[in-house]
Amino acid sequence: MELRVVSLVPSLSEAVGVSAPGALVGATDWCSRPAGLDVVRVGGTKNPDVGRIVGLAPDLVVANEEENRAQDLDALRGAGLEVMVTEVRSVAQAFSELGRVLAGCGVARPGWLDAAEDAWRALPVRPPERAAVVPVWRRPWMVLGRDTFAGDVLARLGVRNVYAGHAERYPRIALAELDAVAADLVVLPDEPYRFTAEDGPEAFPRLPAALVSGRHLTWYGPSLVTAPGVLAAALDEAALLRTGGA
């Protein structure tokens, strides 16, 4: 019998939804993948409706130590539910945690997970050729700091996060400092803050901007299959802007 699963993480909702469509019975309001996902919505990642989740009688709730609050997960456990919490701070850890979650959901290892591992394994080992500022929010400005999945993704593509040594994982940095720091480009994802060509690059007039897919930079799931190519293309386009190439 297929397990009933509630996901509190967009990445995991996509992973479970693609691999075992009938297993997923609930997901957050922010879970937009797979396309057309039709399950009960249980609130946000930071404010899930515990009562609604309990009412779905899931066999398993999947969550993440960064995206979900400990008190909400404790409340779900207190209601008698099994909660599996992931920690994903590198590409390698993403693969191991995805395998663990899908196995916990009673899902056979899917082909897309093998394809994703192959895609990342095929990348040549690259030294940090470019240094980047990587904002994830504005008003106030927040950037990638130490020990993040997205930072590891960029490092594997030859881009060094200039704040990788910061004491915080997502530090708030004044724009004046961001604009003055030694960097070759600014990487602007379209989530969690939706940076666009009209909203973000103007704050960094001295740096070429790489507008990238937030799903490919920050999600760990089926998007990992195409992430190396999608992100490399966006980063290379920014490099051409810096050198004046056509």
Model pTM? Answer: 0.92
Element at 142 (helix H, strand E): strand 142-143
Residues in CB range of 204: below 8 A, 6 or more apart: 133, 178, 179, 186
Mean pLDDT of 184-190: 97
- Label residue 246 by pLDDT band (50, 70, 90): very low
Q: Is the pLDDT of residue 189 over 90?
A: yes
Q: Which of 76, 109, 142 is the last residue of a domain?
A: 109
Q: Which two tokens stand for residue 30?
A: 């922010």
Among 77, 52, 81, which Cα is nearest to 27's? 52
User: What is the total count of domains within the chain?
Assistant: 2
Range of the domain at 92: 5-109
Task: Report the alpha-carbon distance of residue 185 to residue 238 in Å, rounded.
Answer: 7
Residue 2: per-residue pLDDT: 77
Give the pLDDT confidence of 88-147 residue by residue, as tens digits.
Answer: 999 999 999 999 999 999 999 999 999 999 999 998 877 778 999 999 999 999 999 999
Q: Does one domain contain both 104 and 205?
A: no
